[in-house]
Every structure is written in structure tokens, then in C-alpha cells.
Amino acid sequence: MEGNFFAYLQLLELVTFFSGYPVLYSVILFIAGNNLNNQITSRIVSLLPFSYALTGTLYLALQIKNLYPDYSPENINKWVQHPLLISWAFLSVLFWIPALAKRKTLSLIHSLVFFLLMVKDLFVQFTTSNADRHILKNDMNMFSYSLLINLAAISIVVILSFIIIPPKKDKLPGHQ
């Protein structure tokens, strides 16, 4: 826990928003399997980076809300406990850029940093005899919430994509 309660809370926030994405990504690709020729399946897979960007945008909005009303550099320096991890999390917003979103594996690689934070906690919990079991419980709860957040994000992005650009209907035989 690094001796600082607020630093631990920030790590839990990061785990909550980003750690479930690699699992969801893997499950969607597994379910899609060989059906990537299917128009709907291939669209869902192609929208994964945009759902990750939505999750990053929600995280950014939460951090802006947490800093309100004082956005001064002094307050930001006092508030930020893990500047590199938070900066890395903010980079997830870049997946809104279509050229970056085309490389779906980049979003997976980006999210693995946060997944590994949780795996590190699990490893420490299972390898030390005097480990605090509340940390394990917190990580599992936040991971569950992360799965729900990321599932909601992909659902919203997929629904919006079908509203904005409906799937093309195959031409019926005998019609032009």
C-alpha cells in the first residue's frame, strides 16, 4: 500500500477503470473467433479501442471533477500521487484518433500496465504470509467493477455505431 492511503485509493481508481479491459478484449476476440467475416462481429472487434477511449474519457472526467474547483498546479501536484500512471491513463484518450484505433493491439498493450498492477497485488497477497486480505478483496471488487465499466463502454460504443452507421444490408437476389 506504500504507506499512503490516498496513493492506494488512486491505484484502486486506475484498477477500477482500466484493468478489466484486457479480459474483455480477450473474451470478445475469443467469441468472435473465426466469425470476423461477419459484419457485426468485425464491427464490434474494430470498436474495442473506441470503448477503451471512452473509459479513459470517463476516468479523465472523474479526475477533473475531483480537482474541482482548484485547478492550480500546486493543487494538482499535491493531489497526484502516481503522476506516471495517471499520465499513462490519460493517454488512453488518444484512442479516439481513428489512425491509432486501427491498431487494436495497442489499446490492449496500453491497458496491460493497469492489469499488471492488480496481478502484482495478487502475487504479493499469495506469496507473503502476513498479507492484508482486505487488499485482495478490494482488488477483486474493483476488477469486477472494471469489467462492468468496460462492458458498458463497449455496449455504448457499439449501439452508437449502429445508430450512426447502420449495417449494410446484403442485396437480395433479383434486386439491384
Average pLDDT estimate for 127-152: 89
Question: What is the rounded radius of gyration, in angstroms, for the C-alpha atoms of the chain?
Answer: 19
Q: Which residue has the higher pLDDT, 77 or 108?
A: 108
Find all residues with CB under 8 Å of 149, minimum gap 6, and list them: 16, 17, 20, 55, 58
Q: What pTM, to 2 d.p., does this model score?
A: 0.88
Question: Domains of the chain: which residue ranges?
Answer: 5-164
Residue from 142, 80, 153 nearest 117 by CA: 142
Residue holding cell 502516481? Answer: 82
Q: For residue range 23-80, list pLDDT tens digits in order.
A: 999 999 998 887 767 888 889 999 999 999 999 999 999 999 998 988 888 988 888 8
3-state helix, strand, coil in the chain (%, to 5): 80, 0, 20
**Cα dihedral: 64, 15, 153, 108 (round 10):** 110
Q: How far, in Å, CA of 57 to CA of 5, rounded?
A: 25
Q: For residue range 80-105, list pLDDT tens digits in order.
A: 889 999 999 999 999 999 999 999 99
Residue holding cell 504479493? Answer: 124
Q: How far, in Å, CA of 142 to CA of 19, rounded?
A: 9
Q: Is the pLDDT of residue 129 over 90?
A: no
